[in-house]
Amino acid sequence: MQAGVTGLVLADDPLDDIVRAIHDVHAFGGWVSPRLVSSLLPPPPPASLTLRERETLRLLAEGSENAEIAAAMFITVSAVKFHVSNLLRKFGCRDRTQLVSRLGRPVPLAS
């Protein structure tokens, strides 16, 4: 927006979306492809995150694998998988990559 962009469409967006983008930029001043909205506006961490989930999330964001997370937290790999599954569900993400990319900021350890 600082560069003056008023519309953002993807090359493979449906033609209907591109036409609507042109209309909405003209009529309302802006448009963002619906497929980009969730990645541009990461959700805040849910208040219901446990301390262990926050620590797991921080280590995931640093690029740690399950075994490394388990060692750092002194828990089993199964427990790490449990925490990761809970995080994916709470954030509505399909995989670890999507989860980390949607954060967009450091993960606080305390609420």
Alpha helices in the chain (DSSP H): 15-28, 34-40, 51-61, 66-73, 77-91, 96-103
Q: Which residue, among 56, 49, 5, 51, has the nearest Cα to 31 in the 3D structure? A: 5
Average pLDDT for residues 35-60, to the nearest whole number? 79
Residue 111 lies in a domain: no
Residue 95 lies in a domain: yes
pLDDT in tens, 59-111: 998 889 999 999 999 999 999 999 999 999 988 888 888 888 777 655 555 44
Average pLDDT for residues 42-68, to the nearest whole number? 86
Q: How does residue 6 score in pLDDT terms, banded at 50, 70 and 90? A: confident
Q: How does residue 38 score in pLDDT terms, banded at 50, 70 and 90? A: low
Q: Is residue 88 located within the same domain as residue 63?
A: yes
CA 25 → CA 6, 10, 82, distances in Å? 6, 15, 44
What six digits make up the tokens of 111?
């609420």
Give the domain extent around 30.
Answer: 7-40
CA dihedral 46→84→106→94, nearest 10 degrees, is: -80
pTM: 0.58
User: Which CATH number goes with the domain that contains 59?
Assistant: 1.10.10.10
For the chain, the domain total comes to 2
CA 83 – CA 56 distance, rounded (Å): 7
